[in-house]
Amino acid sequence: EMAEKNGYEHYMLKEIHEQPDALRRVLANRVSTQGVNLDEIGLTAEELKKYSQIQVVACGTAYYSGMVGKYIIEELARIPVKVDVASEFRYSNPIIDKDTLVIVVSQSGETADTLAGLRLAREKGAEVLALTNVVGSTIAREADRVLYLKAGPEIAVASTKAYLTMVSVFYLLAVQFAKIKGTINDDEYMGLVSDLIRLPELASETIKVSEEKAKEKARYFIDYDNSFYIGRNFDYTIALEGALKLKEISYLHAEAYPAGELKHGPLALIEEGIPVVAVVTRRSLYDKMLSNIKEVKARGANITAVAIAGDAEVEKAVDDVIFIPECNEFFSGLLAVIPLQLLAYYTAVGRGFDVDQPRNLAKSVTVE
């Protein structure tokens, strides 16, 4: 088994370190200096243009990847995107029709609720595009079109590399839709394309510069039953995924909140020493985040920021900062999740839990 883990103590750590390679595979032949190429799904520009809305259906980590997708697609391509957890979607009599593109996201391709959501969408006449990691899985077979994630086998229950590939596919779709709809110009398009190409290398750099710091900070988290993860816009979705990782494997309660919403409730829970993780990568919301950070700091929270390299201002305002490399702000969120995966991993290891097989959870949930 140690051989399968390639010298790593756990599959989860191995899979975190495999992320640059997973990104290389998911992007290969789909993006080059020529641009994004998604011909494999066989949708013409005309067909794409007819979609008036996109509906994402998924569970768990896959659901959070869809939330990143929503922010990116709406911002770049200006197509409204709704994201629902499959177990809600399937019982909600959703408003979808032939002009809706339904994107179901599932690492395993077998999650029962997601599969039921797919079937419901098809019954209602919508086109279903599946993003899945498992070739020939039920979801892959039943969807109208498939984009494979190519993350390679993921063994640890807590998903890491599959999540990164899911988000990358949403980036590809967003950039492609934006190009077709004409919501970005050629220069913007080529700028996004060249940053997409750099993603694997940036992910590798992120692991290098953040791992020690995340490991060190994990020692602090071990002693606290509760923590908060905050962010705005897609940094908020990264906070959600970071908090989920901590819950799944370290059995500590972590709650993610949109930073601007803190004052409508959770601020009452902030007390001396409580760990708060602030994801601060969106430049346009920088000042707003900084004031939220000060708001919790003033109430005694211990703040760890995940920020862009060289951000001296945030560094001054928080207790610890984990830097990620500078890049196009559309892609920084993806990098920001990596230190949060590492923080959760080292916290769980420090608490002595079975990181790869957390209690009560299963890798693939094929029952309702």
Residue ranges that bind ligand G6P, judged by CB under 6 A: 59-62, 106-108, 111, 114, 157-159, 361, 363-365
Q: How far is the CB of 157 from ligand G6P (least distance, A)?
A: 5
User: Whose Cβ is closer to ligand G6P: residue 57's or residue 126's?
Assistant: 57
Q: How far is the CB of 318 from ligand G6P (least distance, A)?
A: 29
Burial 75-97 (b: 16+ CB within 10 A, else e): ebbebebbbbbbbebbeeebebe
User: Whose Cβ is closer to ligand G6P: residue 115's or residue 178's?
Assistant: 115
For the chain, how big is the Rg over CA atoms in Å? 20
User: Whose Cβ is closer to ligand G6P: residue 114's or residue 227's?
Assistant: 114
Say if CB 218 and CB 351 are below 8 A apart.
Answer: no
Q: How far is the CB of 214 from ligand G6P (least distance, A)?
A: 20
Q: Which residue is nearest to ligand G6P (CB)?
A: 60
Say if CB 238 and CB 61 are below 8 A apart.
Answer: no
Catalytic residue among 49, 124, 288, 363: 363
Say if CB 8 and CB 111 are below 8 A apart.
Answer: no
Structure tokens that stand for 311 in this block: 């951000």
Listed in sequence order, the residues at least 6 apart from 205 whose beta carbon sits closer than 8 Å to its beta carbon are: 325
Whole-angstrom Cα distance, residue 234 to residue 281? 9
User: Whose Cβ is closer to ligand G6P: residue 62's or residue 164's?
Assistant: 62
Residue 208 annotated in active site: no
Q: How far is the CB of 80 from ligand G6P (least distance, A)?
A: 24
Structure tokens that stand for 261 in this block: 């919403």
Q: How far is the CB of 103 from ligand G6P (least distance, A)?
A: 13
Alpha helices in the chain (DSSP H): 11-17, 19-27, 45-49, 60-77, 86-89, 112-123, 138-142, 161-181, 186-221, 234-250, 286-297, 312-317, 332-350
User: Whose Cβ is closer to ligand G6P: residue 183's or residue 364's?
Assistant: 364
Q: How far is the CB of 111 from ligand G6P (least distance, A)?
A: 3
Classify residue 4 by burial, with Cβ atoms within 10 Å: 0-12, 13-18, 19+.
exposed
Whole-angstrom Cα distance, residue 203 to residue 330? 14
User: Whose Cβ is closer to ligand G6P: residue 122's or residue 363's?
Assistant: 363
Q: Which residues are catalytic?
A: 363
